[in-house]
Structure 1
Amino acid sequence: MKNKLTKYEVDNAQPKNKEYNLSDGDGLFLRVRPSGAKSWVYFFRLGDDRRLHRITLGSLDDLSMKDAREELKSIRKLVSKGIDPRTARAAAKAENSQAITMQTLFDAWIIYVKATDQMSELWAKRHEDRWALHLKKALGNLLVKDVNRYHLSAVLEKMTLSGIKEETRKALTTLNLMLDYGLKHRHLTENPARLLKPKDFNVTANIPRDRALSLDELSKLWIALDKATTSYNSTSIITVSAIKLLILTGARRGEVAKMSWKELDLQNGIWSLPKERTKNSRAHIIYLSDLAISIIRNLQPITGQSPYVFDTSRNAKESHIREDTLTRYIARLRQTPKSNRQTPSHEDFSLVNMEPFTVHDLRRSAATAWAEHLKIPPHIVEKMLNHQPLNKLVITYQRATYSEQQKKAWLAWDIMVRDKMASYATNTSKD
């Protein structure tokens, strides 16, 4: 059997007037050209075909002797199965030239769903934010054809461990939708995200919730929020203010988080949400109470130079508070208090004994209180929540906005919140 070439022989092979080959055994040769260029070539026969074929593995500059021998093993396996390695290489090259990254697929999917009106601007933006915050770094540069369930699991498990379980479930939805699009357009042969379930990451499916905080619970939360800002911290004040606005307005988490100064008419107590910012793509007016206006005005010295009311970026960039920041803050309020703390903290008045609740439950809590305690008619509550009627006939003919009724309802809610907070604080101080 031919002895293998040594590194010395390879490095010191000198050019001649004609190209020549040095055998490394098993059909592998080092080809030396008159120019001095060196490359690895493999000579082989296929099946009963006695013709000698040749394939160039690569230049010595790009492929070391060790790597050339490893490459040879793969090529010889193909030949043993009657497969021409040149054809296999050409197919792989063609496939790679057409392969796209996960980032490219995500961008194409977002453009598609917007162009075909399959998704509102608001929902598309939520997928874009989720991708940018949680998925892009780990998955963006991977080729779609190479992505498997383990790549996806690693990202989702990391999200779960960071405490954002609801975002984990939604991230899985984002991956499912974009990879379904990739499957439809033949960028992959199966959707690996469909092999994963929310329970794999200790999160539940999106089951409708019915948790509504009582007035006493809302009072306890409000006082906990006040105690969280005892020591001045701009980020804490901004976060607490956003949560209080959720209670006072019944607006959605994303609507409050991205509230901009240009949407506000504080003189007249009006918050105008454009259709691009609402879930159902319908513009919405929220009438701000005196307490809500006061909370917003208190932020002007902190975020007045930013486009966003709840800006936590601390620099000139346009950056609103993240929705999951509100979720995390509520979760932290529900942690067990730490002892021997020298400075005030949100943990000094924890909600550890309260039944679990989420940020979105605050919207439901407000709506429940409007109906049960303020006796606001259901159709007014629906208007205040900017819910779209299920009956298409109602959508077509019910054009009334009930502006005055809504305004009175929000003002009545303001009074109830103030009275309840004061009453609760007095009663708890006596205990």
Structure 2
Amino acid sequence: MQINSNKVSYQYLESLPIKDKAYFITLIDYKGLRIKVNPSGRISFVTYARIKGGGNPRTITHGSKEKLSLPNAIDLHLQTIDLLEKGIDPNLLKKTKREQFNSSMKFIDIANEYLLKKKSTGEHSTNHSDHNLNYLLSNKLKTFHNDTIESITLDKLEQWWRNNSHTPAASKNALMLLSKIFKHAYSTGLYYLQNNPANEFRRKMLITGQKTSKKQLDIVSEYPEYLYDLCDPMDEHRLNIITRNVIYMMTITGLKKNDILQLKAKQITDNSHITIKKRNKFIQVVPITNDIQSVLNHTYEYLYANTGIYQSEYVFYNPKTGKPITNLRKSLVKLSSSIEWEVHPESIRKSFANICDNVSIPRKHYYQLLGIRESYIPHTDTSLENEQIDKLRLSLIKVQDKINGMCPMIVPGKYDRISDLIFM
């Protein structure tokens, strides 16, 4: 039998008939993933595929000893397929073999895999890739070549930094590369510790990038890194919840920093839209999407839980003082840890504009979303106003879909939106 994954529910699995022999149900939208119904009544999920480059088919059973939800099974299936495509035995997903596998993976192997991936996808130019490989990795990071990635500690980094103090600029770039390799290893399941020693060392030594508010994030190479840090899966940045929510709101709306920091509850019309008065006397309307609503809901719930009462006219405020947030710099410095310069609010807004420009939306909506033109023409018939807002909402959703799709932490079927990751 073949079915779509959206038909699989707890009730569906509980109602499957038990037979004398095990039988399988194929999920059409996830190639190679099957539901296995065992004679004992136990339900498990099975990945069946070949290692890239040949070899016998490999079968991996997910949930042999414990019940799994479908999203968890899909997550494990995607990890398995990723390993298969790299030519790695997916049996290494099993916990019993994880330690043995990690001890056999040298830092140089993971680093080469990362650089090859970035070059093959076009995220790194040939010149940039060659510089990373032939100078930063082969020369500046040579000390760590034969180490396992888990054995590279903060103490080792401090010693390495002292030994390379004669080339501070190159050492800084090498440290940046090392940080990205740690993130690659974590996101691909090759590193399991909840910390990034390269980033810890950068914070300890106050190593930051060039200061600029003019530059925008490179959409191909830097923007995904920024979104990764915003999700912060290792909890290494420990961002203030409210300032993180403000920055996320800036990311998905393109609103100016002060428009969000000064946002008041009375500017929000139900679940429909936000109105912002601009200096040139017109009103910008921001349609409320599911992503925006998730920010507003989480912020309200967090502040109410910490104060027992929503005690300010502002949407984003300090729960201790009741006053609006005024400074995002500390959080933005942390979110710049993977980028060679310091991200500023205007950088985020410019990147949003760049994404709007590359998404198929009406040109007038581009200007309206950026607050450059009137968001809608007032009508005595409110239904016409609502229709204009609804059309603008559809364009904003397209832009937000694009932003979500660029986040490297998205896992279809489990984490479909950035909000699923940061508001867990």
Query: Which protein shows a greater Rg?
Result: 1
Q: What range describes the TM-score normalised by the shorter chain of this pair?
A: 0.3 to 0.5
TM-score (norm 1): 0.38
Higher relative contact order (CA 8 A, sep 6+): 2
